[in-house]
Amino acid sequence: MGQYRHSVQYYETDRMGITHHSNYIRWMEEARTGFLRELGWDYDKLEKLGVVSPVTAINCKYKMSTTFPDDVFISVSVAEFKGVRLKLRYVMENAAGTCVCEGASEHCFLDKNGNIVKMHKEYPEFYHILTSLAESGR
């Protein structure tokens, strides 16, 4: 999967000129939607199928500050997937390749009634893709 590129916007910085910490979580979401699009299973497709994927946990470890107008390159990988819970890992680097932030998010898949979707039965192609990526660490 390719890296997602985000350019730090002026409004994302605080009074000290440093990117506000909350934005890294938003960038993880941006990168995640791009990641799913690359897999051919973007949120639009999932929602048309009646599947939602709420965040059940989020983690973010800040390593180095970013400022306007830095470019941040975000890699997304499947840390774990066993059919119900999807754990994604994020590594954010600046243009020099230095890690500025590491994060993780956990998700489940629900139908429109809030019931857990059995991905291996209902969407075996997507299940296989996520399982393969988890096994390869990509």
H, E, C per residue of 69-95 = CCEEEEEEEEEEECCCEEEEEEEEECC
7 close to 70: Cβ distance less than 8 angstroms = yes
3-state secondary structure of 107: strand
Rounded to whole angstroms, the Cα distance separating 76 from 78 reads 7
| Beta-strand pair 4-7/71-81 | antiparallel
Measured between alpha carbons, how far is 137 from 80 in angstroms, rounded to an integer? Answer: 8
Centre a 10 Å sphere on the Cβ of residue 59 and count the other Cβ atoms it contains. 14
Give me the active site residues, please.
14
